[in-house]
A = this chain, B = another copy of it.
Amino acid sequence: MRTEKRPVVSVIGTANCTEAQSRQAENVGKLLAERGAVLVCGGRGGVMEAACRGASAAGGITIGILPGPDPESGNRYLTVALPTGLGEARNALVAQAGQAVIAIGGGTGTLSEIALALKAGRRVIGLNSWSATSWEGDHLDILMAGDAEEAVRLALMEES
């Protein structure tokens, strides 16, 4: 009997986030867990921790792909901490891990993950995150969501 593979969604955003972003992230985590999705993130604080807190409270599985080599460096709402020792190169892993990526706010690390996810053909949903324009005037192909509910629906491709 084949194991039921769970849908995986990456949640990205900065370790330094606002109260409002923290609430959004927590809500995203909760909604993903309620739908049976596994939450993957960079494993640190801020947006990542808030999303894990929401998912964990709803009984979900959370996986942190940590930049450093120490499994204890992750936030305390991780079911599984994966220390990589890869530094910022681990961003490519977080970006590819999910079938979809939800970006909440974020700095240059988050922007790199958005770009890497798009390059890898992943669906990217933005909640008050980056926009970017190429020299030719092309915009990044990010699906803009108005709230956590819409972000999760877009990530899991549910009909509204």
Interface residues in chain A, defined as those with a beta carbon under 8 Å from any beta carbon in chain B: 1-3, 5-6, 8, 38, 40, 52, 56-57, 61-63, 65, 69, 71, 76-89, 91-93, 96-97, 99, 105-109, 111-112, 115-116, 118-120, 128-136, 140
Contacts and interface: CB of A to CB of B under 8 A. Distances in A.
Contact of A85 (B89, B99, B106): B89
Oligomeric state, in copies: 4
Given A112-B115, A133-B132, A96 B80 contact: no
A3 to B, nearest CB: 4
7 contacts: A3-B52, A8-B82, A69-B87, A69-B88, A85-B87, A86-B93, A91-B116
A140 B89 contact: no
A131 to B, nearest CB: 5
A3 B82 contact: no
Nearest to A99: B71
B129 A118 contact: no
A1 to B, nearest CB: 8
A87 B88 contact: no
B93 A92 contact: no
A126 B85 CA distance: 24
B112 A116 contact: yes
Contacts of A71: 8, 99
Given A40-B82, A80-B6, A140-B108, A132 B135 contact: no
